[in-house]
Amino acid sequence: MQLDARVPSGPLAEKWDRHRAEIALVNPANKRKFHVIVVGSGLAGASAAASLGQLGYRVSCFCFHDSPRRAHSIAAQGGINAAKNYQNDGDSVWRLFHDTVKGGDFRAREANVYRLAQVSTAIIDQCVALGVPFAREYGGLLANRSFGGAQVSRTFYARGQTGQQLLLGAYSALSRQIGLGQVTMHTRSEMLDLVVVNGHAKGIITRNLATGEIERHAGDAVVLATGGYGNVFYLSTNAVGSNVTATFRAYKRGAGFANPCFTQIHPTCIPVSGDYQSKLTLMSESLRNDGRVWVPKKAGDTRSPAQIPEAERDYYLERMYPSYGNLAPRDISSRAAKRVCDEGRGVGPGGLGVYLDFGEAIQRLGEPVVRERYGNLFAMYHEITNEDPYKVPMRIFPAVHYTMGGLWVDYNLMSTIPGLFVLGEANFSDHGANRLGASALMQGLADGYFIIPYTIGDYFARTKPQKVGTDAPEFTATEADVRARIDRLLGVRGKRSADAIHQELGQMLWDHCGMGRNEAGLKKVLAAIPELRERFWKEVCVPGANEEFNSALERAGRVADFLEFAELMCRDALERRESCGGHFREEYQTEEGEALRDDDQFCHAAVWEYRGLDQPPLRHEEQLSFEFVKLATRSYK
């Protein structure tokens, strides 16, 4: 497997401009001769499909939802970062770049991150032009707030619904192209495999979820914007439909999978309440602007929070990380919460929770201001827990939220399969081992609006891709694979739902590949996963047939892929013998319990190559060189 990142030479600040100047172009009249398949209609997919359609490419866009307005980008609450420096507080492209590289614990590719910071400002302009109603000050200019891992105020927001408003902006741009006939939208269509012809991505096989029809779609390039794999843990903040199938299928067809062990555990989620629970709900990081995190100083203190006097409370983030306090980055805040709970100081049922307290903020600002800032989040919390956060502190606990790992891509966002591009959370490129708050929306839109429109043209102009129709033997063979797999799922006729087996898998992963990982635990889970997989193929029950709306079949197919993918994730976690960002190997920590990186051995992205079910995947390395920032121990103290 060749891992050529194709990073342009020259000074960091000039790389992207230089690259754009050198990129080969497709003339406007020729663009309509190229057909691009975009899979996914979240921020990255919708913005890419809309932008490519505008340029004149023929685009087909696919999503498994009933409408392109549903993807889970919509649930992002807090905001989107951009280096506008509207607040005059010292922000700059360099500072956003630096914060992101440092936040990612020096495991991201420098050139990509710099480009991300550069295009961040254009994203805000684009979204405003599309009618995104960002929050504004009384003078009519755009408002900002602070987010974790930064000491400037650079986060743009639309109440607690920033993801929704950004997605609806991209969806409106996409809808316009659909109306104009530039983009053909296929809803309720799940990609079940990638078709590769002579080493190039040439199409996909989909299942129409309403009718069960298996369809072939050919294109000159395939763009995957299919999100992350957090649901491998069963319980996460992801939507229940989010899955790994598209990227994992591409991996099995030859795309390298990078850093699958880099998963983000978000510190502020509503704690688990019972084993019937289908998902976890995030409470936006923006709450940490005004909420203070604490636990009792004494272990086993079961008094109600109001009865615990100030002197007996431990505001542990403020104590341990005085310069960032409650706005310490996500990985650090999550681990700190785990530590105090491990010490027996956790609150709520089972001791798996910490307080996020707005008492002081309500005193300082008054309830109306707090309500204006966070009203919808407070209401959501109240609805779920039946507790009023204006009166009692919220209880929060970390939960799986985002996955930094994903398909490996070069500077052009192309995977190791030529013609297969990967955008947004589905790729690995920008967040290293930990993503900062309000950076996912930025990356999804950067990739879709401002990067792929340039780089895909370069692929077309330089490679002059071969035209392949859906009658090619590769399409026939791939479709046969897809059908065989569906028949196999339908044929087991066991006694258990795929969900129940998925839940078992999730618990295993949370215990051994969650917030803390160690060699013994990972080896144990690596032995248990194949056994669980075997049971799945004996015990799963998928009622009904393929040729109908069949939600049990959809779920079972996704769970089958999670059962294979989980092994790759744990293998990657085992091989990365260091702690960095969200990957905390208990063997590698400082005396104070902080992550201990090993830059000599592991300053690289680990990229996995599939070699068939009968042998383990091969691990490759893309060395990460830090020319412009100094590798340093990450400190938020």
DSSP state, residue 264: E
Q: Is position 252 an interface residue for other proteins (rule: CB under 8 A)? A: no
Q: Is position 116 an interface residue for other proteins (rule: CB under 8 A)? A: no
Q: Is position 20 an interface residue for other proteins (rule: CB under 8 A)? A: no
- As measured in angstroms, the least distance from the Cβ of 159 to other proteins is 6
Among 124, 205, 255, 509, binds other proteins (CB under 8 A): 124
Among 142, 352, 392, 629, binds other proteins (CB under 8 A): 142
Q: Is position 277 an interface residue for other proteins (rule: CB under 8 A)? A: yes
Of 184-203, which residues contact other proteins (CB under 8 A)? 185, 187
Among 7, 38, 44, 50, binds other proteins (CB under 8 A): 50
Residue number, 164 or 326, with CB nearest to other proteins: 164
Residue number, 42 or 465, with CB nearest to other proteins: 42
| Cα gap 100→365, rounded to integer Å | 31
Amino acid identity of residue 28, one-letter, is P
Q: Is position 383 an interface residue for other proteins (rule: CB under 8 A)? A: yes
- As measured in angstroms, the least distance from the Cβ of 292 to other proteins is 24
Q: Is position 88 an interface residue for other proteins (rule: CB under 8 A)? A: no
- Angle made by CA atoms 264, 270, 273, in degrees to the nearest 5: 115
- As measured in angstroms, the least distance from the Cβ of 318 to other proteins is 29
| Cα gap 435→335, rounded to integer Å | 15
| Cα gap 243→238, rounded to integer Å | 9
| Cα gap 630→530, rounded to integer Å | 42
Residue number, 276 or 615, with CB nearest to other proteins: 276
Secondary structure tally for the chain: helices H, strands E? 18, 19
Residue 33, Cβ neighbours under 10 Å: how many? 13
Residue 138, helix vs strand vs coil: coil
Q: Which of 71, 298, 94, 39 is nearest to 168 (CA)?
A: 71
Q: Which of 133, 141, 129, 99 is nearest to 116 (CA)?
A: 99
* 3-state SS string for 455-509: HHHHHHHHHCCCCCCCCCHHHHHHHHHHHHHHHHHHHHCCCECHHHHHHHHHHHH
What are the catalytic residues?
330
- As measured in angstroms, the least distance from the Cβ of 498 to other proteins is 8
Q: Is position 440 an interface residue for other proteins (rule: CB under 8 A)? A: no
Q: What are phi and psi of 369, to 5 degrees?
A: -70, -45
Among 304, 386, 615, 623, binds other proteins (CB under 8 A): 386
Q: Is position 418 an interface residue for other proteins (rule: CB under 8 A)? A: no
Q: Is position 511 an interface residue for other proteins (rule: CB under 8 A)? A: no
Q: Is position 495 an interface residue for other proteins (rule: CB under 8 A)? A: yes
Among 35, 297, 485, 496, binds other proteins (CB under 8 A): 496
Q: What are phi and psi of 4, to 5 degrees?
A: -100, 110
Residue number, 542 or 560, with CB nearest to other proteins: 542
Q: Is position 213 an interface residue for other proteins (rule: CB under 8 A)? A: no
Q: Is position 75 an interface residue for other proteins (rule: CB under 8 A)? A: yes
Q: Is position 395 an interface residue for other proteins (rule: CB under 8 A)? A: no
Residue number, 185 or 456, with CB nearest to other proteins: 185
Binding mask 224-243 for other proteins (x = CB under 8 A): ---------------xxx--
Which helix (H) or strand (E) segment holds residue 208: the answer is strand 200-208
| Cα gap 459→476, rounded to integer Å | 26
